[in-house]
Amino acid sequence: MAKAPKTVYQCSECGGTSPKWQGKCPHCGEWNTLQESLAAPESKNARFQSWAADTAQVQDLSQVSAIEVPREPTGIGELDRVLGGGLVGGAVILLGGDPGIGKSTLLLQTVAVMAQSRKVLYVSGEESAQQVALRAQRLGLKSEGVNLLAEIRMEAIQTALKQHEPAVVVIDSIQTMYSDQITSAPGSVSQVRECAAQLTRMAKQMGIAMILVGHVTKDGAIAGPRVLEHMVDTVLYFEGDQHSNYRMIRAIKNRFGAANELGVFAMTEH
C-alpha cells in the first residue's frame, strides 16, 4: 500500500517548517502564520553531493576595481528617479502594490518604450496574450519589439530566457509562477521562494535587468516569505487610492541608489 504524502506546516512569513501546527511560529515568532502543505521529497543524491566543487577566488578588497555601474533609462522620468537613474544590468527589482493599482499598466508602458532600443521580454502569468495585447492597444503603445510570453512554469521561462537573451525582463507576477521541483501549489511560500531564487540567479548570471511583480497582503506587505525582499536588489511599492487618478511609487530598499525618492503618476485613458 502506498504511503500517504507527508505534510508539514510552513510559515508564510519566514518559510520555516514545523511537523505540527502551532499558534506561534517557532522560527520567527509570528502568530497564526503556519499553513499546512506537502513536504518536498528529499533528493536521493542530496546526501552524496560533493563539497569539492569549484571554490570562489579570494580577493584583496583594495585590489578590486570599483567601477560605476552603467544605467539604462526606462524612458519614464518618475520611475527613473525612484530607481536612481534607471535600470542596472543584473539587478532584480520587486514591485508590489494592490490589485488594480496599475502595476501591469506601468510596466507594459516601460517595456514598450525600452523595446525601441534593447531586447525586452514580458512574461505574463495572470493574463493571456490577447488580454495584454488589448491593454497595449488601449494605451496606444508601440508594441513592435515587445516579446511576450504567457507562461507560469519556471522551467519553460528559463528556457525562453536562454534562447532570447533579453536585456530587460518583467515577471507578472511572481506569485503565479511554479517550479516542477516543488510539489506545493503556485503562490505557496516554498514556490515563491524557489522561483524567485531561480530567477535572481539567472538575472545575475546573464546580466538581465529583471522586474518581479508582487501581490500585497491586507496589511500592505508583499505576500510571500520575508526572505523575498532580502533576495532582490530593489523593493518598490506602488500605492494610491483607487478612487483617485494619482499614484505614487516609492523605494524602501535600493542597492543601486537612494531609497528616499518618490515618483508621482496620474492614471488617465492613455
**What's the CATH code of the domain at 201?**
3.40.50.300
| Euclidean distance between CA atoms 28 and 14, whole angstroms | 6
Reported as a pLDDT band with limits 50, 70 and 90, residue 127 is very high
For residue 3, the model assigns a pLDDT of 57
- Asked if 188 and 94 sit in the same domain, the reply is yes
Question: What's the distance, CA 36 to chain centroid?
Answer: 24
- Placement of cell 536585456 in the chain: 167
- Asked if 169 and 216 sit in the same domain, the reply is yes
For residue 226, the model assigns a pLDDT of 72
- Whether 1 shows a pLDDT value over 60: the answer reads no
pLDDT in tens, 226-270: 778 889 999 999 998 878 889 999 999 999 888 888 999 998 877
| Euclidean distance between CA atoms 212 and 192, whole angstroms | 11
User: CB count, 10 Å around CB of 101?
Assistant: 20
Higher per-residue confidence, 244 vs 79? 79
For residue 52, the model assigns a pLDDT of 43
For residue 100, the model assigns a pLDDT of 86
For residue 190, the model assigns a pLDDT of 82
Which segment of 19-23, 115-119, 222-226 scores lowest on mean pLDDT? 222-226
Residue 44 lies in a domain: no
- Asked if 85 and 152 sit in the same domain, the reply is yes
- Asked if 23 and 92 sit in the same domain, the reply is no
Give the count of domains, the chain.
2
For residue 40, the model assigns a pLDDT of 59
Residue 59 lies in a domain: no
Q: Which of 269, 259, 267 is nearest to 103 (CA)?
A: 267
Which segment of 72-81, 111-120, 178-187 scores lowest on mean pLDDT? 178-187
Percentage above 90 pLDDT, the chain: 54
- Asked if 120 and 247 sit in the same domain, the reply is yes
- Whether 44 shows a pLDDT value over 70: the answer reads no
- Whether 49 shows a pLDDT value over 50: the answer reads no
Q: Which of 66, 69, 86, 90 is nearest to 233 (CA)?
A: 90
- Asked if 137 and 11 sit in the same domain, the reply is no
- Cα angle vertex 95, ends 90, 101, to 5°? 150
- Placement of cell 511560529 in the chain: 25
- Asked if 12 and 114 sit in the same domain, the reply is no
For residue 147, the model assigns a pLDDT of 96
- Placement of cell 580577493 in the chain: 59
- Asked if 99 and 202 sit in the same domain, the reply is yes
- Asked if 112 and 223 sit in the same domain, the reply is yes
User: CB count, 10 Å around CB of 248?
Assistant: 14
Residue 178: domain span: 71-266
- Cα angle vertex 97, ends 203, 125, to 5°? 55
For residue 4, the model assigns a pLDDT of 54
Residue 50 lies in a domain: no
Query: What's this model's pTM, rounded to 2 decimal places?
Result: 0.82
Residue 57 lies in a domain: no
Q: At 263, which helix (H) or strand (E)? A: strand 262-266
Residue 65 lies in a domain: no
Mean pLDDT of all residues belonging to the chain = 86
Q: What is the dihedral of CA 9, 15, 17, 20, to 10 degrees?
A: -30
- Asked if 34 and 129 sit in the same domain, the reply is no
Tell me if 25 sits within 8 A of 16, measured CB to CB.
yes
